[in-house]
Structure 1
Amino acid sequence: MSKTPTSLDNAPAEIKLAVDLIYLLEDNAIDPQIVLSALDIVRHDFEKKLQSQPSKS
């Protein structure tokens, strides 16, 4: 049985990751306010990581 491609198969990596995260959070019935608070922390952490990387010129 062959796998039928879906529109997600051709989606950008950030879309695939977002879909995976949404599924994980909804499947575990995480309170939306907790999710948003946690995402603020994650965003802040990754923004700091981006700032500390050498610039690509």
Structure 2
Amino acid sequence: MSDNKPVSELDSAPEEIKLAVDLIFLLESHQIDVEVVLAAIEIVKQDLLAKR
């Protein structure tokens, strides 16, 4: 049985684009202050770089 769901551009997007869209949605839906988000992203980035 075949699913006839239309394929969106997001479905075929690279994983980093899908993750970015999910994160943007999450942050916007919780109305988190932009400065707080940017500071948190920098902390996450530094943590991930240290774990490379």
Instruction: Name the one with the larger helix percent.
Output: 1
- Corresponding residue of 1:5: 7
Over the matched positions of the two proteins, sequence identity in percent amounts to 52
Give the alignment's Cα RMSD to 1 decimal: 1.2
Structure 2 unaligned spans of 5+: none
TM-score, normalised relative to structure 1: 0.82
1:28 corresponds in structure 2 to 30
Q: Name segments (4+ residues, structure 1) moved above 6 Å.
A: none
For 2:36 and 2:6, locate their aligned partners in 1 and report how far apart those are by CA, in whole Å.
Answer: 36
1:4 Cα deviation after fit: 1.5
Deviates more, 1:3-12 or 1:17-26: 3-12
Scaled by the length of structure 2, the TM-score of the pair is 0.90
Structure 1 residue ranges without an equivalent (≥5): 51-57
Aligned residue pairs total 50
Amino acid at match of 2:20: A
